[in-house]
Structure 1
């Protein structure tokens, strides 16, 4: 029987006997209009929802919450990587995960999840896990199981396409044989063929929920959700909340319009996107691919630009006409830069010097992009982000991470992800707030100047009302997070908690009133002036130091005093 779809969507099938190359056999269609950020449909009865092997002992096997390490006492890639979303359930909250007393393979955050998982699937797999554990003498982790019901027949497998890739097909053959042995099934050719077909369907249709920033893990497969096709200029995105996937509008969607998402990081150069889509066995013909548009060109045509009037990039004219100089670097050169960037050896550990050396090599590769001021064109923003992430945990460099993140929030993220409610943009804002909390303490104690040799950064922070900055940024995060993410999303919960802490501070009635006035109505004269003076101006000032800091640090000149 066909998959049961939630209200808001329907499946359209192409019954053409000889479809043209690149045509879609089926697609998901909106049954009504949806505004940006609006939930389109919720999928809460997945065919498959489980941790991957690497996270099985650190993730509740039912609700997929990440918790503390498991114990043995009882409780009384794919694949579609919707990387632009970042939405999901809570990160590790310290809740102890307890293992099933029988198999000791499955772990749970509580008795309710254990009972639900038992009814759903574990009663059929527990004995198998126990048998393998006893025969092997080890707590071997099970391979993902996959049932054939629930409309699995409707899933595309692309078996012949995978078979044509000899190396990948050999890997599938090994996985299929291992799964048959693990499950105690007869290793007949029929069994192995079915197992290989299952692996192809999982590879093609499942979503990887992994997001280290928010503690997401696991694989999610819903037959109805798998009907959503890809576009590098999508009009929707997916967020996860425990065992539920929510399909949300990224752009305005009209009744009868096809709903599309991006299976990959759609900000990559064209050849990198095509390589990432190789395992899906189709060639994307969206406007971004057909006309080889960069992120700025896509941004310029986005209907979401006006939403940024309430954001850290409220200058809509800049989004419509970005100040870049494309004459300095061709798109072919950008492809070559990205390919060389990808081949650089990455550090195997957390050594700060190794990460800095890698950033130095990457920064030099990106020199043509820097000269063209194509800050949002990959691999330049990832180069800056990864260095900022490293510096956030460095005693010596933590202050310098703040200008880098302010730069990403104002000069990169709004062009790559035009809708301000996209979870990746919200995560960046919350990261800025956390660093402002650090620099605020250093400023109050008088230690900032001893931790930072850049006089422009020190002077800006010394003059700034960092508490008001935090309050305004948190109101941005809470507002947009409530639109584009699940209520239980860890980043949103953190933002709400930090906002409560800021609001509880005494002696800030006037400042808080002005921030609230701006958050309620961004065009309120007094509130807007306060936001411009006390929040946007210092954020832009800090962002303006980012390139100077990167140039000085990565080109071996030392940090420059101003």
Structure 2
């Protein structure tokens, strides 16, 4: 039987064996509201943390011990009220490798596959001297054991069906281009496609062999062939389970979710929350329209996108690829622009008619810029001079984009973002990270990710909150002026109501996080806890009243005026200092008072 799908979806089969898409998922009803949940997937075939992270993540529910965050009123770490208290992870008493947050998760994982793999880690420890496996190797070993050992209950039965164990002539499409049986069960592996890529195939052969050896299944050619096929199916159909809270990755494989096809201009997106994947609308979807997501970073230049899709063994023919549209052109045609009226870029005219000069750089030159940027060698150590030289080289490579004002075109946003990330953790440079994050949130992200409820845009807003917590403390103590040489930054922060700025940004994060993410998302829970702390402060009743009115109705006259003057104004001012700050640093000028 096919994977269970909600009534909002149906499988469409194309009878043409030469069609690039043999199978797709269609909407059975109109989904006009962006952020609507289309389907929730809670029983994946595989859900594994990445590599060594299996020692710091519950191996079943994929929770990590709760971390603390800075309080925007003090800049000091706190345990936010209302969040789940930290917990400890306990190792499996048999293998001592897999860890769990509680006995219930350990029992559930035992049934889901750990019963078979538990003995694997003893062999790993004996032969490799470690207590974890690379994620692909562990995934293949887990599947092989479920296929070979018999029994295993419902979990094993679902794995056997999805991987075509004992089923002849049944291969579904999955996330590749070839098609097969009409039941939509068996995952496609694209084995021949992988085999043609010599270097990739050699790596996959090594991973498959490792999985067979550690699973204790011998090294016969038949089982090695099975392992290679399993690995190809995992690589073709599994998703990178990127956790927006921690940045940790892993594998998430669900047969139903694997049927969603790719587009570089998708109408849906996937969010991961622990062991659950949620498919949501990114833009309005019509009845009968195909549901599509992006398998890759779809904001990359065309050549880079094609390279990223290479291992999926198809060539994308979406509008972005056919017409070689850049991020500004895609943004201009997006129906989600209107949602930015409640965001850090409420100037919708700027999104519809950006002030860029395309005569400064052609699309072919953009591809060349990205390729040259990628070729720059990243220093292995932490030498500041080496990293400064890399930043200078990257900035120079991006110079044509700077001159064209095309701040949202890669690799320029990543260049700025990496510097911001580096400065956030630097005692000397942390103040200067704030203008960079404000710039990214107003000039880059709204173009690249038009819908303001996309998780990475929410993370950007929360990043500004965290830095305002730090600079707020510096301002209150009088330390800011001794740490920063930029009079504009110092003056803006000295005059700003940084607590009101934090409250407004938290309200933005909570509003959009409630649309684009699960209520259990750590970022959303932390934002709610921080807002509760701010609302408990005395003497801020009037400011909070105005911000609540603005959050209920962005066009409320008094609330909108307060937001414009006390929140958006300072953010725009800080953003305006970002480029000159970058130029000064990259020219070797000191930004820190001695």
| Same fold, judged at TM 0.5 (above) | yes
**Residue 228 (structure 2) pairs with residue 228 (structure 1):** no
Do the aligned residues in 1 keep the contact of 2:429 with 2:592 (CA within 8 Å)?
A: no
- Find the residue that maps to 2:364 and give its secondary structure: helix
User: Of the candidates 443, 447, 458, which is equivalent to residue 415 of structure 1?
Assistant: 447
Equivalent in the alignment of 1:113: 105
Shift of 1:194: 1.1
Between the aligned partners of 1:306 and 1:179, the Cα distance in structure 2 is: 50
Between the aligned partners of 1:213 and 1:317, the Cα distance in structure 2 is: 32
Between the aligned partners of 2:47 and 2:233, the Cα distance in structure 1 is: 14
Equivalent in the alignment of 2:588: 556
Between the aligned partners of 1:177 and 1:405, the Cα distance in structure 2 is: 45
Between the aligned partners of 1:103 and 1:40, the Cα distance in structure 2 is: 39
Shift of 1:353: 3.9
Do the aligned residues in 1 keep the contact of 2:50 with 2:248 (CA within 8 Å)?
A: no
**Residue 242 (structure 2) pairs with residue 203 (structure 1):** no
Between the aligned partners of 2:366 and 2:192, the Cα distance in structure 1 is: 33
Shift of 1:135: 7.0
User: Of the candidates 165, 177, 185, which is equivalent to residue 217 of structure 2?
Assistant: 185
Equivalent in the alignment of 2:363: 331
Equivalent in the alignment of 2:138: 143
Deviations 1:1-37 (A, max 9, x none): 32222332111111114x24xx201111111122200
**Residue 168 (structure 2) pairs with residue 173 (structure 1):** no
Between the aligned partners of 1:530 and 1:193, the Cα distance in structure 2 is: 66
246-255 or 172-181: bigger deviation:
172-181
Do the aligned residues in 2 keep the contact of 1:46 with 1:221 (CA within 8 Å)?
A: yes
**Residue 146 (structure 2) pairs with residue 152 (structure 1):** no
Equivalent in the alignment of 1:53: 51
Equivalent in the alignment of 1:25: 22
Equivalent in the alignment of 1:488: 520
Q: Which runs of 5+ in 2 are unaligned?
A: 68-82, 147-158, 165-185
Between the aligned partners of 1:368 and 1:93, the Cα distance in structure 2 is: 49
Between the aligned partners of 1:94 and 1:413, the Cα distance in structure 2 is: 32
- Find the residue that maps to 1:384 and give its secondary structure: helix
Shift of 1:134: 5.7
Shift of 1:118: 1.4
Equivalent in the alignment of 1:3: 3
User: Of the candidates 351, 355, 359, which is equivalent to residue 319 of structure 1?
Assistant: 351
Equivalent in the alignment of 1:81: none
Between the aligned partners of 1:32 and 1:120, the Cα distance in structure 2 is: 34
Shift of 1:558: 4.0
- Find the residue that maps to 1:356 and give its secondary structure: helix
Shift of 1:334: 1.0
Alpha-carbon distance change, 555 to 93 in structure 1, aligned in 2, over 3 angstroms? farther
Shift of 1:188: 2.2
Equivalent in the alignment of 2:14: 14
Alpha-carbon distance change, 353 to 508 in structure 1, aligned in 2, over 3 angstroms? farther
Deviations 1:204-257 (A, max 9, x none): 110111347525332100000000111110101000111110000000011111
Do the aligned residues in 1 keep the contact of 2:244 with 2:456 (CA within 8 Å)?
A: no
Do the aligned residues in 1 keep the contact of 2:187 with 2:255 (CA within 8 Å)?
A: yes
Q: Which runs of 5+ in 1 are unaligned?
A: 70-90
Do the aligned residues in 2 keep the contact of 1:352 with 1:390 (CA within 8 Å)?
A: no
- Find the residue that maps to 2:188 and give its secondary structure: coil
Shift of 1:546: 0.4
User: Of the candidates 119, 129, 132, which is equivalent to residue 121 of structure 2?
Assistant: 129
Between the aligned partners of 1:365 and 1:132, the Cα distance in structure 2 is: 45
Between the aligned partners of 1:96 and 1:551, the Cα distance in structure 2 is: 46
Between the aligned partners of 2:125 and 2:586, the Cα distance in structure 1 is: 51
Between the aligned partners of 2:446 and 2:555, the Cα distance in structure 1 is: 20
423-432 or 45-54: bigger deviation:
45-54
Do the aligned residues in 2 keep the contact of 1:235 with 1:261 (CA within 8 Å)?
A: yes
Between the aligned partners of 2:559 and 2:132, the Cα distance in structure 1 is: 59
Do the aligned residues in 2 keep the contact of 1:423 with 1:481 (CA within 8 Å)?
A: yes
Equivalent in the alignment of 1:62: 60
**Residue 305 (structure 2) pairs with residue 273 (structure 1):** yes
Equivalent in the alignment of 2:535: 503
Match runs of 1:30-41 below 5 Å: 30-34=27-31, 35-41=33-39
Between the aligned partners of 2:90 and 2:592, the Cα distance in structure 1 is: 53
Equivalent in the alignment of 2:566: 534
Between the aligned partners of 1:325 and 1:449, the Cα distance in structure 2 is: 37
Shift of 1:438: 0.7
**Residue 89 (structure 2) pairs with residue 97 (structure 1):** yes
- Find the residue that maps to 1:304 and give its secondary structure: helix
Alpha-carbon distance change, 137 to 523 in structure 1, aligned in 2, over 3 angstroms? closer
- Find the residue that maps to 2:278 and give its secondary structure: strand
Do the aligned residues in 1 keep the contact of 2:26 with 2:289 (CA within 8 Å)?
A: yes
**Residue 518 (structure 2) pairs with residue 521 (structure 1):** no
Do the aligned residues in 2 keep the contact of 1:266 with 1:273 (CA within 8 Å)?
A: yes
Shift of 1:94: 4.9
> CA RMSD of the aligned region, Å?
2.0
Alpha-carbon distance change, 138 to 413 in structure 1, aligned in 2, over 3 angstroms? closer
Do the aligned residues in 1 keep the contact of 2:420 with 2:436 (CA within 8 Å)?
A: yes
Equivalent in the alignment of 2:400: 368
Equivalent in the alignment of 1:459: 491
Between the aligned partners of 1:348 and 1:138, the Cα distance in structure 2 is: 24
238-247 or 150-159: bigger deviation:
150-159
Alpha-carbon distance change, 137 to 261 in structure 1, aligned in 2, over 3 angstroms? closer
Normalising by structure 2, what TM-score? 0.87
Normalising by structure 1, what TM-score? 0.92
